[in-house]
Amino acid sequence: MHHPSDATTQAKWENLATLQALLRKMPKIDLHRHLEGSLRLQTLAEIATEHGIDLPAYSIEQLRPYVQVTDEEPDFHRFLAKFRLLRRFYRSPEAVERIAYEAVADAAADNIRYLELRFNPVALSRSQHFSLANVTEWVSRAIARAQQDHDITVRLILQIGREESLRVAEEIIDLALAHRDKGVAGIDLAGDEVNYPPHRFAPLFYRAWREGLGITTHAGEAGGAENVRDAIRLLHASRIGHGVRAVENSDVVRFVQERGVVLEVCPTSNLQTGVVRTLGQHPLPDLIALGLKVTINTDDPSVSDTTLTDEYLVATAAIGLSLEQIREAILTAADAAFLPEEERQQLREQFQEWFAEE
């Protein structure tokens, strides 16, 4: 005998499947995705075998808990720890290019039409002491090839670790400026925002901003709302990576709003790093209600075992956004893309056309 609740549950699941199919078909934009968090597990296993990397496990299923967030307690530092192992895979120019190419191919397969992929040149160079210029070259070569093979536009963001020396930070900014015609569009500051405040980077970021690089900064994730204000004020950030904790301070909310700064929200990541306790408590609807500009992104698809379709599904089914709000977030992302004004305008119009056809 069928209980009514069974039928309701069944209908709900069928609706979810319908919703997921709809979201998968939707053309998308991801502004906040880390190359280092976008590796295919199959590729990891193959590179490990080829280069004799000593791994805790070689089968994909056994490897999963080391590089992916499974059913563990949410924790910011535990989340970051996954990347320590992942950094051992950049063993050769071929490996770096393969990982970058596949990251773009996977995004395109999820119907992402515009992607900004960020990576830390230091993280990619460290395992074999490659030069920062070389790894940047290899990544830009791979994304150029991937864009030709897939229906997607990609720009790169070079990331600086908060614990980095000013000398290295300056080198990364120089590289970003030198690779502008090869797809590099901006810079990012990331890492432990609790223990490494951004003040010392202010002069370098001022120069990058003056020279026209896009600036985004991780803030208001592990640290509080004031960090969001500092990132905008000190580093000239026009976008904030995460920024969800801005909601804790009404002055900061007003400041973000007045400056028209865009938040790069990554729901699943926020759950896994312990920034939010449950998806039902995610501040995304509040941020929208407060009139802030939000976008929805993946952060680290392979570490979080997610796609942008999944993030949209979470945002609608678990957090409570409407499809209209999802489309609005995509158009906000088009407006916030690190592209010349005219290309941004074209991107927005293209998306508006696609949405009109849906």
Give just the sign of the alpha carbon dihedral 349, 115, 159, 267.
positive
- Give the mean pLDDT of 306-327: 96
The tens digit of pLDDT for each residue in 26-80 reads 999 999 999 998 988 888 888 888 878 777 766 777 777 878 887 777 887 888 7
Half-sphere exposure of 275 (CA within 13 A, CB side): 27
CA 15 → CA 19, 21, 121, distances in Å? Answer: 6, 10, 43
Residue 15 included in any domain: no
The tens digit of pLDDT for each residue in 134-172 reads 999 999 999 999 999 999 999 999 999 999 999 999 999
Catalytic residue among 164, 221, 264, 311: 221
Residue 14 included in any domain: no
Please classify residue 307 by burial: count the beta carbons closer than 10 Å to its beta carbon, then call 0-12 exposed, 13-18 middle and 19+ buried. buried
Q: By the 8 A CB rule, do 295 and 328 touch?
A: no
Residue 346 included in any domain: yes
Q: Which residue has the higher pLDDT, 149 or 192?
A: 149
What pLDDT does 14 receive?
A: 73
Q: Rounded mean pLDDT of the chain?
A: 92
| 310: pLDDT strictly greater than 80 | yes
Q: By the 8 A CB rule, do 302 and 39 touch?
A: yes
What pLDDT does 47 receive?
A: 84
DSSP designation for 155: E
User: Amino acid identity of 268?
Assistant: T
Residue 149 included in any domain: yes
Distance CA 288, CA 282 (A): 12
DSSP designation for 221: S
What pLDDT does 2 receive?
A: 45
Strand order in the sheet with 28-34: 28-34, 112-119, 153-161, 184-190, 214-219, 239-242, 262-265, 293-296
CATH number where 86 lies: 3.20.20.140
The two tokens of residue 353 are: 């056309």
What pLDDT does 45 receive?
A: 82
Q: By the 8 A CB rule, do 136 and 121 touch?
A: yes
What pLDDT does 8 receive?
A: 62
- If pLDDT is split at 50, 70 and 90, which confidence band does 10 have? low
Q: Which domain holds residue 125?
A: 28-357
Distance CA 63, CA 45 (A): 8
| 3: pLDDT strictly greater than 60 | no
SS3 291: coil
Residue 216 included in any domain: yes
Residue 6 included in any domain: no
Q: Which residue has the higher pLDDT, 84 or 285?
A: 285
Which of 76-85, 241-250, 278-287 has the lowest average pLDDT?
A: 76-85
CA 244 → CA 227, 228, 256, 265, 347, distances in Å? Answer: 11, 9, 11, 7, 26
What pLDDT does 337 receive?
A: 98
In the chain, alpha helices (H): 4-25, 41-51, 60-67, 76-86, 93-109, 121-126, 132-149, 166-178, 202-210, 225-235, 250-259, 267-272, 284-289, 301-304, 308-313, 323-336, 341-357
What pLDDT does 5 receive?
A: 54
The two tokens of residue 290 are: 């407060």
Domain count, the chain: 1
Residue 2 included in any domain: no
Distance CA 258, CA 247 (A): 15
Beta bridge partner(s), residue 239: 216, 262
What pLDDT does 91 receive?
A: 86
Phi first, then psi: what are they for 342, rounded to 5°? Answer: -65, -40
Is residue 221 annotated as part of the catalytic site, yes or no? yes
Residue 262 included in any domain: yes
Q: Which residue has the higher pLDDT, 300 or 45?
A: 300
| Percent of the chain with pLDDT strictly greater than 70 | 96
| 1: pLDDT strictly greater than 90 | no
